[in-house]
Structure 1
Amino acid sequence: MQILRLSSTSTTLRRMLVLPAFQDCHENNGLGDMMDEDVMNNVAVRVKLSLTVWDFTLPLTPSLPAVFGISETVIEDRFCLEHGTKGWYDALDHHFRWLLQYRISPFFCRWGDSMRILAYTCPWPADHPKANEYYSDPRLAAYAVPYAPILSCTDAAKNSLRREVEILKTEAHWSKAYFYLWDEPLNMEQYEVIRNISNELRTYTPDVRILTTYYAGQYTSILGLIYDKT
């Protein structure tokens, strides 16, 4: 059936090319060094085509990661959920899987002072079975590692972060990992904070990736001074 349709379309196109309108266009413009399709570019043709592709699949992992952030407080307010409850975890899991089916790598977030941000893809710690399930999913192109000290800069938070990183670094999916520390920094002081945190992280994980978002406002003149490794 598809072969017959293609044959019919080809025959129709050939008939159109010998119509007087096409012939007049060809004669008026002349040949010169132009191709046939060039001398007919003032004639509009609308053709309906149907194409079927066999034995082709889209890659599971996108070549260009697309990340999308969801505020955990929005989920809590929208669904009247208490942070850390079973319903809360279920809601985050539902949003994670919903976005992942479209090859979008989600992260959840909570804001701290200024525009400091706690961003994480998995709400469970790295040693939880769910974490490996999340991070190993081939549809996930990138995942955010939570930088706990962004909200509470205590020794306990720093030690927890180091343990988290040490666990993740042993896994094959570590190449997907990144830290998102600050949302749209505005000035050099904020970039300096990002730089200091980045340097701290690189003392025990030199290959760490830092995501820094761009602010297109009145402070954009400082962008040439951004730390080149963040």
Structure 2
Amino acid sequence: MEDNRKIYQCMHYTMSAFGGFLGAYAVLNRSDFLGNAQTSNLIHLTLDILGRDTRQILLRLIAMGLYLCGTMFTVLIPMYTKWNIKFVSVLVDFLAVCILAVLPEHMNSVIALYPVFFAMAFQWNVFADICGYVSSTIFSTNNTRQMTISFTKYLFGGTSEDAKRGRFYAGVLLFYHVGVALSYFAWKEIGLKGVYIGVLPLMAEMVFIGYESGWIRQRKHFIARHRKEIN
């Protein structure tokens, strides 16, 4: 059980790193616009409605629609298929990276972040909790809140579970911002094409998913048994 918990944590931390990476990509390359969440988009949508900017209203409604679709698919896929939803989420992230890498630099920032809106909504719902802890891998507000609450409880008479919980959320925040740093250096050295570096945490996540699903362990046992039979 403890081994499984470690795998789940590694999976969550790795996706947090990718969430930070893509969040920083949006801020660095697309006019400081965060595509990981809908808060900013909905604020701008309301302002555009009040200002009667029809074109911007349409663009932001599409962005919201993509976010909603990303969420809907995480509900429908487990209902109607036997696909590994975590594996699908990583594939969606891979596809988003590939699309982002070929988009031109000078284009509307909202349109440029359409892949991010869909992929991050999908990822948020698939990797929404771990071992009883509700934790987002695409932004930091609630993780910061939970870490602060947990450590405060522990320091003022709480239990070891409070400390454990605080360390978990601190780890999520650490890996998220490691992803942010990775995105910065990729952007500084390569520019828009630096988004390809985001495949590194995704490849690591594929390994963790394979281990969690048992495929890697089954493969290792098969190879070991095959060698034993040969010998």
Normalising by structure 1, we get a TM-score of 0.25
Q: From the CA coordinates, give the structure whose radius of gyration is larger.
A: 1
| Larger helix fraction of residues | 2
| Larger strand fraction of residues | 1
